[in-house]
Structure 1
Amino acid sequence: MLWLYILIGVLALIAGLAIGFFIARRYMMTYLKNNPPINEQMLKMMMMQMGMKPSQKKINQMMAAMNKQQGK
């Protein structure tokens, strides 16, 4: 009878892990769809809206700084 409780516990653990994985995956896909990561084109548009004339060097510097910040 004890082995039955252990088996049910292991199966519940596996099912919980699988369900949690798929819920987390769906959440991240929805989040990235609604909030895409910033790219060079978006950065260029933001700089132009702020009244700056973006050069490729400045864009590259800002992208490197943002990637470094995200890495921490």
Structure 2
Amino acid sequence: MWINILIGVLSLIAGAAIGFFIARKTMMNYLKKNPPINEKMLRVMMMQMGMNPSQKKINQMMKAMNSQMK
């Protein structure tokens, strides 16, 4: 009787752990293929804030965002 409960609890824990890692891997792949922001969106945001962004500034901000994603 105790063995059945123990097997059930261990299976539940193992399933939750495996599900977490599969979901994490899937989400990381999705974000890598479809980044939440790109250069065009960044340029529009900066212009809406009243800034006149140079290509150098946009490249710096994209590099900073990409390094945070890793």
Could you tell me the TM-score, scaled by structure 2's length?
Answer: 0.59
Provide the identity percentage.
59
CA distance in 2, matches of 1:4, 1:55: 59
Larger Rg: 1
Alignment of 1:49-68 (within 5 A): 56-58=46-48, 60=49
Report deviation, 1:36: 0.3
Could you tell me the TM-score, scaled by structure 1's length?
Answer: 0.58
1:5–1:22 CA distance, 2 compared to 1 (3 A): same
Residue 42 of structure 1, aligned match among 40, 43, 67: 40
* Greater than 4 Å deviation, 4+ residue runs: none
Could you say what the CA RMSD is over the residues aligned between the two structures, in angstroms?
2.3
CA distance in 1, matches of 2:45, 2:35: 23
Q: Which residue of 2 aligns with 1:5?
A: 4
Structure 2 counterpart of 1:28, one-letter code: M
Q: Give unmatched runs, 5+ long, in structure 1.
A: 45-53, 62-72
CA distance in 2, matches of 1:55, 1:6: 55
Q: Give unmatched runs, 5+ long, in structure 2.
A: 51-70
Number of residue pairs matched by the alignment: 49
